[in-house]
Structure 1
Amino acid sequence: MIPRIVHQTWRDRDIPAAMREFVASWPRLHPGWEIRLWTDDDLAALVRQEYPHLAELYFGYPRPIQRADLGRYLVLRSHGGVYADLDAEALRSFEEILDRDRPLFAEEPVSHLAEKLVVVRGLQRIVSNAVMASPAGHPFWDDVIELAVRCRHALDPLDATGPFLLTGAVDAADAGIRPDIIPGSMFSPRDKYGRPCPDLDAAVPPLAQHHWHGTWIPGEKGPPAAVRIKTAFRKARLRWRERRLEDPALREQAVNRAVLASEAPADGTVLIAIPVRNAARTLDALFARIDALDFPAEKLSIALLVGNSSDDSLERVQAFLESRKDRFRRSALIRQEFAVREQGPRWEIAFQRDRRGRIAKVRNLLLREGLADEDWVLWIDADIIDFPPDILARMLAERARVVHPDSVRQIGGKSFDQNAWIATAEPKDHEWIKHVRDGLYQPHAHHLRLYLQDLRYLPRVRLDSVGGTMLLVDANLHRAGINFPDRPYHRLIETEAFAALARRCGVEIIGLPQVQTLHVED
């Protein structure tokens, strides 16, 4: 049973003038109901008194909207009732929905699914958190809270606490506690643009209208004239500098489409490919996890390339292969030294073209010397020290030709491998040109990009780029010539360029935000 309470939240008790008419609609249409406005101080007190274990999460949010989102979920868990944003207007009494034994939500208007930030996340619907109803103490809210903890590193409030997170919680909920979802027109008969929703039913009038004053759908604004002039100059200079670079079309034309058309079987053989350099401190842990893989020995091969190591990496690799002859159907050890220039910190932007170009050459050599008849290649960095025993089976079960789990340095922490990303928008000229350094597009973190840490409410996402910490690849992609460019390709290099080339050849890349590998702390 949903209690007769309407909850609303605002920073204080001074309701904005633009919202007062909407706020007044609730007591007018719900006589005898309790109407409660929760201020920021009220929500803070609720967290301290009833949810002290969430205090660090709640007070650590960088944006007020995140606290408002989590606060409304906690209010409904503790008290039940109807929650309504200040810009939500009651159109009819909610008495008819009170006999429910589980939360009630509405989808956002279907027109919102066409927005770029929805499309890139692959969402098939959006569950709105602008108007919600729930019995008190319903266990679904525990799932929401747990998911909010898991998604605490997401940068966008939509992913951390907002309707995207709520959508993920609803979709993942067990049938016994899954909320009821009604058509979006019941709580919002008009979309963000004021257009009527196509699912409007004249026989069932809507209960409320969300007016989208605080909409999450952004507007667009062009750059000022001075920026446009500077951008034009930068583009002209860049064209001059790139005049002798290989035409990307040549690399795409070189891909063998006949070989590419043949897809590896999901139950096929797998080659584990590991480049190794000065990895003695992590190899034992990595080898232990490989030993623990829940995968048939007769289907598993391994190839390691060791080079430029000043520690005992080579001896450790040799000892491992010698002692595990029965663990693999085939093993290979490649030794190769590469010319290395003395450099500073490896993550410095100035060193990326040389450093990652060299890594690409290592990967390509490992493929040439190590890949035989295997159906799949499982790339693993030598710095990976833990992963689930069933990770390979889970990746193969995706039935995708390229699969990338998340890589973290603490379980549940931020994504370590930020070469795995989704582009949230096509950058405008003035947005990308300033981030080109040494022929590579190297924007700062989160610039028009989502990482797997941002999407942990989703089990599976489509990626635009990959890293190499752990990467499963259909070996026919490599045989067809989709390898790791060691020179700029569309201003990308190595694994990012591999992903760009694969996508231009029609290959879908899948990321697994809820599957994590552990990278050693630097």
Structure 2
Amino acid sequence: MPYFDMRQRPTNNRTYILALVLGVGILYFLFTLTSNSYDPYQLVRKRKADAAAQNPLSPPTSAFRKLRNNDPSGKRRPPPVVHYQLNNLSASANPLAHSEKILILTPLARFYPEYWANLVRLSYPHEHISLGFITPKTKDGDAATAALNDAIKATQSGPEPQRFQSVTILRQDFEMPLTSQDEAERHKMQNQKPRRAAMSQARNSLLFTTMGPSTSWILWLDSDIVETPTDLIQDLTSHDKAIIVPNCFQRFTEEDGTPGVRPYDYNSWQDSTTAKRLASTMGKDDILLEGYQDMPTYRTLMAMLTKGAIREPDNDPRSIMSLDGVGGTALMVKAEVHRDGAMFPPFPFYNLIETEGFAKMASRLGYKSWGLPNYFVYHYNE
């Protein structure tokens, strides 16, 4: 028969103390785990707080957390000296794995709610996305700015995952050459040079004001792009190209009520012998334009190489082609391209201007442009 000794043994105080410490440690761990389970956005908030700027002179792509300007003795604190090591900055095919910062820039003359709704739906973590806008000082620009402010206020005070890292709004300090923003007026051939020169000025002002030392990628997204894949950022960056642009189409309704799609942006192209010969006969202040019958260039237009239907079985969305000119409706650029000096020329640059001139300037700096003929974004239909 088994024997159990029921006599009480002497108590060791060190054993009690060790058990107490262990119990407190377990309770603290369980409390921390429980707290995190009730607050799924705690880690996001901490990362945002760690990245927040603490001085008005800090880059605008960082969220700003205002601190007291004076120390306890009453003396005003001097601005900090901050060191940035850009050699450690990456722009890779997997930006999410490296927490790479994306700067989305939009020249905005009209505000479309569909544009903003599409922007908020982007699946790339918004804590790594900064936004920048520039609006004209016109009546339409005032209305667009007011609507934009309302949308920003609603998003930035809404659910934590939808909030962006920072938002910057600029107002143009120059007059727009066109008073009307109607699509027919914007696309008149005689309006192209002054209109696109002004667009270049706006893009450059926005770029050089908002690009910070932590920016890895810049997505130029026009304010009338109302439909894109939610994984737009991940899809474009996955090709790891310095400059890459999707195909921009427009949805419309046929006369019989059938829905259809049609090419919209003709500025993404491969050059032709005819276009080069035409440019050689032009003056230094003249520009080549694409998509006009009065100026046939016979370039290979990316917009004309596909039917524009996302679910066509023979259309591989990762199919890629080299380009000599790019459009700016949804243009992804590694920030180093802009840091090296490639901007949007508001003047004829090799008889090219704005985004097409940018592609030429980037090429002169050693950067190649690429296009995705079967990957689509869609322009608003007026």
Under a length normalisation based on structure 2, what TM-score does the superposition of the two structures give?
0.62
Partner of 2:35: none
> 3-state DSSP class of the match of 1:265?
coil
In structure 2, how many angstroms separate the alpha carbons of the residues matched to 1:455 and 1:369? Answer: 37
Confirm whether residue 448 of structure 1 aligns to residue 298 of structure 2.
Answer: yes
In structure 2, how many angstroms separate the alpha carbons of the residues matched to 1:290 and 1:340? Answer: 26
CA deviation vs aligned residue, 1:233-271 (integer Å, no higher than 9, x gap): xxxxxxxxxxxxxxxxxxxxxxxxxx8998623312101
Confirm whether residue 374 of structure 1 aligns to residue 206 of structure 2.
Answer: no
TM-superposed deviation, 1:306: 1.6
Partner of 1:244: none
Unaligned runs of 5+ in 2: 1-85, 253-259, 307-314
TM-superposed deviation, 1:435: 7.1
Partner of 2:236: 395
- The 3 A distance-change label for structure 1 pair 427 and 303 is closer
> 3-state DSSP class of the match of 1:332?
strand
Q: Is the 2:268–2:303 contact (alpha carbons within 8 Å) kept by the matching residues of 1?
A: no
Residue type of the partner of 1:275?
P
- The 3 A distance-change label for structure 1 pair 428 and 489 is closer
Confirm whether residue 408 of structure 1 aligns to residue 249 of structure 2.
Answer: yes
Confirm whether residue 488 of structure 1 aligns to residue 348 of structure 2.
Answer: yes
Q: How many residues align?
A: 260
Partner of 2:371: 511
> 3-state DSSP class of the match of 1:515?
strand
Partner of 2:92: 265
2:147 to 316, 322, 330: 316
In structure 2, how many angstroms separate the alpha carbons of the residues matched to 1:385 and 1:420? Answer: 19
In structure 1, how many angstroms separate the alpha carbons of the residues matched to 2:231 and 2:358? Answer: 26
Partner of 1:182: none
Partner of 1:348: 188
Confirm whether residue 286 of structure 1 aligns to residue 122 of structure 2.
Answer: no
In structure 1, how many angstroms separate the alpha carbons of the residues matched to 2:340 and 2:121? Answer: 32
Q: Is the 2:265–2:303 contact (alpha carbons within 8 Å) kept by the matching residues of 1?
A: no
In structure 2, how many angstroms separate the alpha carbons of the residues matched to 1:262 and 1:299? Answer: 14
Q: Is the 2:267–2:325 contact (alpha carbons within 8 Å) kept by the matching residues of 1?
A: yes
Q: Is the 1:263–1:474 contact (alpha carbons within 8 Å) kept by the matching residues of 2?
A: no
Describe how 1:213-292 pairs up with structure 2 within 5 A: 264-266=91-93, 267=95, 268-277=100-109, 279-280=110-111, 282=112, 284-292=113-121
Residue type of the partner of 1:359?
M
Q: Is the 2:246–2:377 contact (alpha carbons within 8 Å) kept by the matching residues of 1?
A: yes
Partner of 1:420: 268
2:124 to 292, 295, 300: 295
- The 3 A distance-change label for structure 1 pair 288 and 265 is same
Describe how 1:495-506 pairs up with structure 2 within 5 A: 495-506=355-366
Unaligned runs of 5+ in 1: 1-258
Q: Is the 1:467–1:495 contact (alpha carbons within 8 Å) kept by the matching residues of 2?
A: yes
> 3-state DSSP class of the match of 2:233?
helix
Residue type of the partner of 2:224?
D
CA deviation vs aligned residue, 1:130-174 (integer Å, no higher than 9, x gap): xxxxxxxxxxxxxxxxxxxxxxxxxxxxxxxxxxxxxxxxxxxxx
- Provide the alpha-carbon RMSD of the alignment: 2.6
- The 3 A distance-change label for structure 1 pair 427 and 286 is closer
TM-superposed deviation, 1:403: 1.1
Identity across aligned pairs (percent)? 27
In structure 1, how many angstroms separate the alpha carbons of the residues matched to 2:87 and 2:268? Answer: 23
Confirm whether residue 339 of structure 1 aligns to residue 175 of structure 2.
Answer: yes
TM-superposed deviation, 1:321: 1.9
- Taking CA–CA contacts closer than 8 Å with sequence separation of 6 or more, which of the two structures ends up with the larger relative contact order? 2
